[in-house]
Each structure stands twice: as C-alpha cells, then as structure tokens.
Amino acid sequence: MPAFIEVADRVWVRRVPSYDVNLTVVGGERGLVVVDTLSTAAEARAAIAAIGDLGAGKVIAVVNTHDHFDHVLGNATFREQYDDLPVHATEEAAAHTDPAAPPADRTFASAATIDLGDRLLELVHLGRGHTSGDLVVRVAEADVLLVGDLIEQAAPPSIGSDSYPLEWPDTLDLVLGLTTSATAVVPGHGGVVDRRFVEQQCDELRAVAETIRDLATRGVPQEEALAAAEWPYPADVLHHAIPRGYAQLPPARRQLPLA
C-alpha cells in the first residue's frame, strides 16, 4: 500500500494507485485535517490505518476540494471512525455531492478557516474551473497549496461535463497569486508540483479557452471545432471541453458572422 510522504512540515500526502488520487493530512496542535477521502470505504479504511501509523494526532476535520466521487466517497468512513467529525467544502460542492458520501456539513461561499492552534488552514473558492465548487487549501507558514483537480500532474487536466473551461484559466491565475517560487503545490492527482507547472497548465487551459472563443466568433460550428484548430491536448481530453465552452459563451458569440 502507498506510504505517506511528508512534503512539508506536518503535511503528508498519500498517493493512491486507484485514479492516482491524493489524500493529504495536515497536522497542528489541535489535531489533523484530512483533505479528500478517496473513492471507496476500503481505501478510506486503509488511509485511516496509515494515519494512525503517523502517530501525529487525531483527525478533527475533513475537507473536500470538490464533489467528485474519487475525492468524497470516503467521507462516511471517516465520520464513522472519528465520531461524526465536520466535513468542510464549498456550498456548490456540497450541493452536488453524492448523498451516500455524505456531503459536507460545514460549507462556505468564498472563504473559511480551520484553526489548528499553531497554524491556520485557509479554505478559498477562487472561481469555477474543474467544477463549480473547487476550493484550494493554503497552509501559509509551510508554503503549501492543495489545489484539488484544478491541477493534475499525471495526465492532462480532466475537463469534464461539469467543468468551466472558459473560466478555469482565470481561476488558476488567482491560484498562482497564492504561490511563491518555492511553494509545494499538491494536485488532485499525481505528484507534487511547483509554481512553474501550474503556470504551464494554466497556459494550456487558456489556449483551449481562447481557441473556443475564436472559433465561435468566426462562426465555426461546434461539431467542426476539433478539426478546425490546433489544440494543446488530444481529442479525448476535449470531448466535453468544446461543447461546454460553446455553451458558456454569450449567444451573440455563437452565431455565424453576417459577412
């Protein structure tokens, strides 16, 4: 089974082979906060055992970076183990979380904090991107940023049927505003990255957004868009991106030019 790796002072990441997804533990004087809870009860139970092996304290809260199953379906297992501990997420993420998870019961619209005594975790919704309810977790004094699936390291970003490809680059601009050249950025999937990696993925997503806007403005039909331009990602990554992008443009940008 995967081991926890301490990527900064009392910040441990467990990279799970299933979906190559990350579960992160942040420790403080008051206890531990778990960020994302994996996709099954069995995975969550294994993570709970590994957290116990850390000997760093008791879990006092869970954070969901967004509502997708591979990040939330372990919620129920963690709550059973730790006496209904609070689960934090954005209001949007909680509203879209599978009831079996269960959804977060501590929600916010733009920002919240978790006080661990000697350190404060900042939970911030910077805008829509991978979903409508993405949040990032900032551990400022350790210079660590947990970004969920706003960034993926092991593969191109997942631009799904509930994503916002036209807004995603602007959200990542704000993410970059929370980083330094030394920040350890923990993505939702894959290995820990740095600011330069985030900049590169932001540039790629901006190319997708700008290409969609350009094609729609020139009157290129949605069904012809994939073949009508060069894209930074292969076709399977763009399966939902193009229709989502076209749908999110103002109607005037989706009409054929008059001349």
pTM for the predicted model, two decimal places? 0.95
pLDDT tens-digit readout, 118-136: 999 999 999 999 999 999 9
pLDDT tens-digit readout, 53-91: 999 999 999 999 999 999 999 999 999 999 889 999 999
Q: Which residues contact 40 (CB under 8 A, 6 or more apart)?
A: 18, 73, 74
CB atoms within 10 A of CB 54: 14
List of domains in the chain: 4-254 (3.60.15.10)
C-beta separation of 66 from 92 below 8 A: no
Report how far residue 114's alpha carbon sits from residue 151's, in angstroms, rounded to the nearest whole number. 23
